[in-house]
Amino acid sequence: MSLEVRTIGDPDLPDWIRAMHTGFLRPPTVTKEEIETRRAGTDLERAQGAFDAEQCVGTFRSFPQRITVPGGAAVAASAVSNVTVSATHRRRGLLSRMMEHDLRAARDRGEVAATLLASEWLIYGRYGFGPAAWVSEWEVDVARAGLDKRYAGPADGGRVDFVDAETVRRLGPALHERLRAVRHGVVDRTERWWRLATGDIPQPGMPAWTEPYYALYRSPEGSVDGLVSYTCDEVWDGKRPQNTATVHGLIAVSTEAERALWHFLLSVDWVTKVASGFRAPDDILPLLLPDPRAAKLTLHSDYLWLRPLDVPALLEARTYACPGSLVLDVTDPGGHAGGRFLLEVDPGGTSCTPSKRPAELSLGVAELASLYLGDESAVRLATLGRLDEERTGAAQRAELMLRTARRPWCPDHF
């Protein structure tokens, strides 16, 4: 019998979840509670399954997302998640069929890009995705950091207070929206996101919920400018504490808030190490320490991948570091976003329109994805042979226009 790829319905959901667990190497058991929880958060019209007879052997879903681009505007994206193909059915084109259906539907809906977090590097480039934002993680040796051990609170007159999960659900969304307005790469969070992240909605099939510590930073004026959640282990060696505080999330809209929350974490009694969680590669954490070498880099990796679906809409949405113009010839084997485009940036605004002018830069849609949020270097891609400079100096001009002072950062897993 031929393999079928189709949108799933309610009767398919238990088998779909089982196939997803199998693909992610999790126990293939499915409970009634998990079915109910996932059904409440899944738009079945955007969920696909690959079926061999009655058995689900592949999973795929997407959901609407808003992602902030350089300059603070947000664009509509299709966030791809829960992608699996069972080991018994690899190399049969199932992912290609599900991906093509979703990208075509996203373009029809007016979503100008697709996003995902890639489990493996080699899979998604062939579908036009490119790494657009990276993450780094540090482990800080508290004793070596050199901070004042007499720390008694923020020096700026603000304060840090422990709060409960209900307070986080009440105050966290507004804080996150303030961050999203100024930091490119940040994606929106729904009410359901906050309920899941704070244990208000159980997540069957996942490790048992452990309530973290939550702490808010309030400015001297009383505004909530920072939030951190973290857990601590309990390790002792010969009556000496060797505990690690692991950060699960830290967002802040001011340097004062960020400094206060890191200093707070590094001053907790019995904590000898702090694991930072996923941060932007240019995060200020190491340089907040008197001895930056106390922060050991433990991870540096690609994270958020982007797939352009509407090049003019994307390029007109963001801002640029300087005026200029570029003629880009974009190749898209998938047929969704290719073409030749004239990008013009001046003090009066930005336009990106189809053009018949000679190309100045020729590149694939995945390379455009890596350049779009300002993280990658056009000069470096040209050196690698991943884009062609058709006019001398065009790569350097693209570098000056597209790069951003801060690197993009996506703090969320999806």
* Beta-ladder partners of 141: 273
Is residue 410, in this structure, part of any structural domain at all? Answer: no
Q: How far apart are CA 361 and CA 214, in angstroms?
A: 48
Kindly report each contact of residues 36-40 with a partner whose C-beta sits within 8 Å and lies 24 or more positions away, as own/partner: 37/201, 37/202, 37/203, 37/204, 38/13, 39/10, 39/13, 40/192
| 69 and 121 belong to one structural domain | yes
Same domain, 32 and 106: yes
**84: closest CA among 22, 133, 28, 146?**
22
CATH number assigned to the domain comprising residue 70? 3.40.630.30
Closest CA to 399 of 379, 414, 383: 379
Residue (of 171, 139, 162) closest to 211 by Cα position: 162
User: Is residue 409 a part of any domain in this protein?
Assistant: no
Say whether both 122 and 146 belong to one domain: no
Q: DSSP letter for 294, please.
A: G
Strand partners, 7: 48
Catalytic residue numbers read 124, 414
- Do residue 376 and residue 236 come from a single domain? no
Q: What is the pLDDT of residue 2?
A: 84
In angstroms, the CA 41 to CA 201 distance is 11
Instruction: Give the span between the Cα atoms of 110 and 232, in whole angstroms.
Output: 44
In a domain, 40, yes or no: yes
**Domain boundaries, position 33:** 3-128
First and final C-alpha spacing in the chain = 34
Measured on CA atoms in the order 19, 25, 28, 34, is the torsion positive or negative?
Answer: negative
Q: Note the pLDDT of residue 318.
A: 98
* Exposed/middle/buried for residue 35 (C-beta within 10 Å: 0-12, 13-18, 19+): middle
Shared domain for 247 and 335, answered yes or no, is no
User: Which CATH number characterizes residue 361's domain?
Assistant: 3.30.1050.10
Q: What are the strands, taking DSSP E only, across 97-197?
A: 113-117, 130-141, 159-163
pLDDT at 287: 96
Both structure tokens of 139: 């482990």
Q: What letter represents residue 226's amino acid?
A: G
Pair 105, 144 in one domain: no
Q: Are residues 328 and 204 in the same domain?
A: no
Burial class (CB in 10 A: 0-12, 13-18, 19+), 282: middle
The reply to whether 144 and 271 lie within a common domain is yes
261 in the same domain as 186: yes
Please tell me whether residues 276 and 356 are part of one structural domain. Answer: no
For residue 91, being part of any structural domain is answered with yes
Mean pLDDT for back-to-back runs of 10 residues, the chain (414 residues): 92 98 95 95 97 96 98 98 97 96 98 97 96 98 90 89 98 98 98 97 83 97 98 93 97 97 96 98 96 98 98 98 98 96 96 98 98 98 98 98 98 96
Last residue of a domain, one of 303, 318, 341: 303
Does any domain span residue 94? yes
Instruction: Convert 60-107 into a string of H (helix), E (strand) and C (coil).
Output: EEEEEEEEECCCCCEEEEEEEEEEEECHHHCCCCHHHHHHHHHHHHHH
Q: At which of 97, 128, 159 does a domain end?
A: 128
Residue 240, strand partner residues: 237
Same domain for 293 and 196: yes
pLDDT given for residue 1 in this prediction: 58
List 161's β-bridge partners, or say none.
Answer: 216
Last residue of a domain, one of 93, 128, 163: 128
**30 belongs to a structural domain:** yes
Smallest CA-to-CA distance from 8 within 38, 46, 36, 37 is with: 46
- If one counts the domains in the chain, the total is 3
Tell whether 413 is covered by a domain: no
Rg (CA), the chain: 23
Looking at the fold, whether 26 and 143 belong to one and the same domain comes out as no
The beta-strand segments (E) located in 309-391 are 324-331, 339-346, 349-354, 361-364, 387-389
Residue 385's pLDDT is 97
Which of 391, 366, 392 lies closest to 381, judged by CA?
366
Return the pLDDT at 153: 85
Nearest-angstrom CA–CA distance, 354 and 84? 37
pLDDT in tens, 179-211: 999 999 999 999 999 999 999 998 877 788 899
| Residue 31 in tokens | 């409970």
pLDDT value, residue 389: 98
Q: Which two tokens stand for residue 259?
A: 């400094």
- Does 106 fall in a domain? yes
Q: Which residues contact 318 (CB under 8 A, 6 or more apart)?
A: 69, 70, 71, 73, 184, 350, 372
Token code pair at residue 206: 């996942």
